[in-house]
């Protein structure tokens, strides 16, 4: 079994087949291509097509997808279903009518295992969200069990913070940070005085 990628580590290049809702065609997602284009990559793993919580999550993600693209990110939803099942589900499930991002197929579980979300007992992926920088480093990781859906607004907030920090590496974003709010500049003077820095 290959090692699971941890936050802060480089993600090995990989490819996976996709269903592309914008064109109605099949395609391929390549991490190397995303890096070559200077894009962030957001992988959004979910258990299975034609289930119950999953379409609500993908619909929620579709609402923030345009903003994520503006930040230079490509989103790929991923399950262990095939690209053919993705096509059928997208065609049949009305909640998915606004989904425009690629839907990745991981039927062997190879990519799911790489990120530690593959459930050997079921052959399904847990609800995992992973943010990969344009350089290929894993900078964000969140994993939920099957029965708890995620909030795409929080994913957007995290992506906004990561996009800001790549241009301001000497700063840090405090809890609930949003664009326009104060950041922190770690230093000896800041130790024990974060309250003053945020409220001055």
- Closest by CA position to 79, among listed 102, 48, 58, 108: 48
H or E segment to which residue 17 belongs: strand 15-20
103-105/73-79 β-pairing: parallel
C-alpha–C-alpha distance, residues 113 and 134, integer Å: 22
Q: Does 54 participate in catalysis according to the annotation?
A: yes
CB-side neighbour CA atoms (13 Å) of 33 = 7
**Active-site residue, selected from the candidate residues 43, 54, 99, 132:** 54
- Interior CA angle at 49 toward 46 and 51, to 5°? 90
The rounded distance, in Å, linking the Cα atoms of 153 and 157 is: 6
Active site members: 54
């Amino acid at each position: 079994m290959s090692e699971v990628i941890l936050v802060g580590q480089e993600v090995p290049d990989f490819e996976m087949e996709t269903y592309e809702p914008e064109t109605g065609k099949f395609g391929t997602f390549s991490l190397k291509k995303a890096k070559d284009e200077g894009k962030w990559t957001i992988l959004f793993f979910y258990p299975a097509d034609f289930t119950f919580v999953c379409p609500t999550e993908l619909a929620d993600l579709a609402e923030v997808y345009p903003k994520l693209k503006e930040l230079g990110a490509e989103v790929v939803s991923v399950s262990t279903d095939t690209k053919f099942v993705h096509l059928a589900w997208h065609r049949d499930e009305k909640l998915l009518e606004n989904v425009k991002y690629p839907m990745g197929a991981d039927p062997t579980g190879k990519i799911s295992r790489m990120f530690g979300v593959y459930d050997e007992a079921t052959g399904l992926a847990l609800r995992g969200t992973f943010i990969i920088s344009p350089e290929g480093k894993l900078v964000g990781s969140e994993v939920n069990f099957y029965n708890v859906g995620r909030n795409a607004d929080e994913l957007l907030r995290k992506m906004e913070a990561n996009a800001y920090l790549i241009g301001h590496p000497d700063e840090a974003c405090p809890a609930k940070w949003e664009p326009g709010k104060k950041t922190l500049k770690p230093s000896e003077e800041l130790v024990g005085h974060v309250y003053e820095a945020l409220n001055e």
